[in-house]
Homo-oligomer: A and B are copies of this chain.
Amino acid sequence: MVNKITLNDIAKKAGVSSQTVSRVINNLPDVSRATRKRVQQIIDEMGYQPNAIARSLSTQRTWMMGVVIGSLDRYGPSRIFVELNKNAYLQGYRLLPYFTYGEDTLEIAKYVQELLTHRPDGIIWAVMERAGHDEVIQESFDGIDIPIVTMEACMPNVPKPVFMDQVKTSDGLTTHLIEQGYSNIGIITGEMRPTVRGRLRIEGWENALRRAGLPYSTLQRAHGDWTAIGGEHAMSQLMEQYPSLDAVFACNDQMALGVLSYAYRHNIHVPSQLGVVGMDDISEAICFNPPLTTARLPFEAFAEQTVQTLARMIDAHVAEEDYIVPDTLMLYPKIIIRESSMRKSVDT
């Protein structure tokens, strides 16, 4: 391991007991100014680094938050991860990341077991893969006396501090398309069997169309794989299934780019002949051809609220107090209107 120097080495060198050194390191009272200064000097000289492992074992506290998260190749999850890290740091915690690949539930359960081995002070569950995991995972946490919050899936007895309203967002984007005069609006989802989040997006799209008295058959639905090329294929399928299509809501910006690519190759003009909206507002979206209408999700606030809630739960847990789960914070994405859906202003 690293530095061979221990508390005791410092203590000997300074001619004091080790707990005096401990007091200096942790800035506790009950050390004379003179002693404190002398000890500090020796610490600096020798380049002593306290051992967090030993401290954790002794204090029963690791200051680690385990985070289980998947699909890091995608925009949302990777933004979330970065923001979680930033906020955990601000609260004095480090992250112990456990990335899931694929959907092998059993694998994930084992993975979680391994994570628990490191005794994180709390756990953030950010896997948004299709449900079905939930029960198996829940089992892993059963009887485990450790605070846990979820960002995506809903689990019994597990607080979900923030909720990004997917339904309202898709509803808003779809409604915007309707207002622009489009009436045969398709949707491109991420997976064939959508995640919970995916289903909510479909719901919002349906709601808007139903309210407007417009069609929303399954023929108006296709699925990609969250990539641009996947979006392009889905678009091609959509045009076959539902030739009267005049607008598309793609569930992320990459797939929307695929739709734009399809339109370009088939000489379909966007937005006059086809309206396109995406989701995420990735930084590239503004430079698409044409610039893309989309919705920006408040990932910063999402992560902040999650981490803060978990930190409170940990505090309460340590103090052996009861924790009152706060109301779920509702967050709403911001719709960003750009050229890809602005038929009205183009027409006039």
Contacts and interface: CB of A to CB of B under 8 A. Distances in A.
Interface of A: 1-4, 47, 49-54, 56-57, 60-62, 72-73, 78-79, 82, 85-86, 94-97, 99, 101, 113, 116-119, 121, 143-146, 227-229, 231-232, 254, 257-258, 260-261, 264, 283-284, 286-289, 291
Contact of A1 (B146, B229, B232, B286): B146
9 contacts: A1-B146, A3-B145, A47-B143, A52-B117, A78-B78, A94-B96, A94-B118, A228-B283, A257-B284
Nearest to A59: B1
B86 A82 contact: no
A99 B54 CA distance: 24
Nearest to A259: B287
A121 B117 CA distance: 18
Given A2-B144, A96-B94, A54 B52 contact: no
A182 to B, nearest CB: 21
Given A228-B286, A257-B288, 20 more contacts: A1-B60, A1-B146, A2-B116, A2-B119, A2-B144, A49-B117, A51-B117, A51-B119, A53-B56, A53-B119, A82-B99, A86-B101, A229-B286, A229-B287, A254-B284, A257-B284, A258-B287, A261-B288, A261-B289, A264-B289
A257 B287 contact: yes
A80 to B, nearest CB: 12
Contacts of A4: 145
A286 B254 CA distance: 11
A260 to B, nearest CB: 7
A116 B1 CA distance: 10
Contacts of A99: 82, 85-86
A53 B49 contact: no
A113 B97 CA distance: 20
A94 B94 CA distance: 14
Most interface-central of A51, A143, A284 (chain B CB within 10 A): A284
A250 B69 CA distance: 33
A118 B287 contact: no
